[in-house]
Amino acid sequence: MVIAKNLVFKSVFCKCVLVVAILVTSKVSVYAGEAEAYVANARVRLLTEAQAIQPGSTFWVGLEMAMDDHWHSYWKNSGDSGMPTRIEWHLPPGFEAGPVHWPNPVRMDYQEDLTSYVLGETFLLLSEIKAPQDLDEGNVPVHATIKWLSCKDICVPGQTELSLLLPVNEKAPQVDEEVRARFMAVRERWPVFDSKWEITAQQQKDAFTIHLMPPNDFTGQLTHLQFFPYRNDVIDHAAQQFFQKDQQGYQLTCVKSVLLDPGEAIDRLEGVFVADRSWVSDENRLGHWAQIGLRDDQL
């Protein structure tokens, strides 16, 4: 499999080779240059707001997944079953891809004590890509290998290669306004990462008790809450999480996973809380990320 990494050359002669190389590799390579595919009951495509790459700049690439009716795919922690969607980037030297930013997960309960964490029928996974300063004229291939699991009542694994080819432009690049608007809308619904909410927790023998204290200027209220941990072996996904209002704010109790021994302490809980109301007044932010340190002397 030819990975088209070395397409950025310095001389005119090499640019001719570059053109030939693109023609040759697009015939023999699996990376046929398609930005879109329909595989395993999902239409997947790569989108970017950038219409050119400015050396030294960053730009966002989105993987859009549109599942067929009633099909779903999985969040970063898939829960009791399933498999999280994975993106492997194949980028030219000097380029770096940041982590995937996930939308808020949805809890899906099966019968018999099985719960998974899934994503909605259409969503965008965004990653930020940084271009090196030292970048010559030419075209930059941005390839991704996408692997996921599409499920309805049965599951079908999906895998595809998608790519974009972007020109290098020294000047500030033009932007596809429609894609930019879509990306902005997605970002506005990401979990809150930085706020004045105070979130602490204690670990007991069988459960974690999480305390959430809103900031003084919070005028809303939460009436339902679900914690989605990043690790899949800390809480019992299928158990109900007990939510209540208390004097300081809110409290959520999550039953520990059977994979943790009763006396076993962990040092932190990290994940996303998804509420039915916004964590930030005047915005539509239903998710809140938190990394909560835990003491081990509470067991």
Partner 1 sequence: MKLKINGIIMAILISAVFSAVAFAGVSAGSKAPDFTGTDSDGLTRSLSEYKGKYVVLEWLNYECPFVRKHYNSGNMQSLQRHYASKDVIWLSIISSAQGNQGFMTPKQASKFKNVELSQSTALLLDVSGTIGRLYGAKTTPHMFIIDPQGTLVYQGAIDTIATTDPGDIDKAQNYVRSVLDALIAGEEVVPFSTKSYGCSVKY
Among 11, 111, 219, 244, binds partner 1 (CB under 8 A): 111
Q: Which candidate, 142, 141, 159, places its Cα nearest to that of 150?
A: 159
Q: Residues 123 to 152: which contact partner 1 by CB under 8 A?
A: 147, 149, 151
Shortest separation between residue 245's beta carbon and partner 1, angstroms: 27
Q: How far apart are CA 286 and CA 225, in angstroms?
A: 10
User: Is 3 near partner 1 (CB under 8 A)?
Assistant: no
Burial of 175 (0-12, 13-18, 19+ CB in 10 A): middle
User: Is 1 near partner 1 (CB under 8 A)?
Assistant: no
Q: How far apart are CA 199 and CA 250, in angstroms?
A: 10
Among 66, 156, 165, 292, binds partner 1 (CB under 8 A): 156
User: Is 282 near partner 1 (CB under 8 A)?
Assistant: no
Q: How far apart are CA 110 and CA 36, in angstroms?
A: 32
User: Is 232 near partner 1 (CB under 8 A)?
Assistant: yes
Shortest separation between residue 28's beta carbon and partner 1, angstroms: 21
User: Is 258 near partner 1 (CB under 8 A)?
Assistant: yes
Name, in order, each residue with C-beta under 8 angstroms of 190's C-beta and a sequence gap of 6 or more: 101, 103, 285, 287
DSSP β-ladder status, 122-130 and 58-67: antiparallel
Which tokens belong to 267? 């040092």
Q: Residues 36 to 65: which contact partner 1 by CB under 8 A?
A: none
Among 34, 113, 206, 283, binds partner 1 (CB under 8 A): 113
Among 10, 38, 110, 299, binds partner 1 (CB under 8 A): 110
Q: Which residues pair with 293 in a beta bridge?
A: 268
User: Is 259 near partner 1 (CB under 8 A)?
Assistant: yes
User: Is 153 near partner 1 (CB under 8 A)?
Assistant: yes
Specify the stretch interacting with partner 1 by CB under 8 A; choose among 65-73, 77-85, 201-209, 242-250: 77-85
3-state secondary structure of 266: coil
Question: H-helix or E-strand containing 25?
Answer: helix 12-28
The residue ranges that bind partner 1 (CB under 8 A) are: 80-83, 110-114, 116, 147, 149, 151, 153-157, 159, 232-233, 238, 258-259
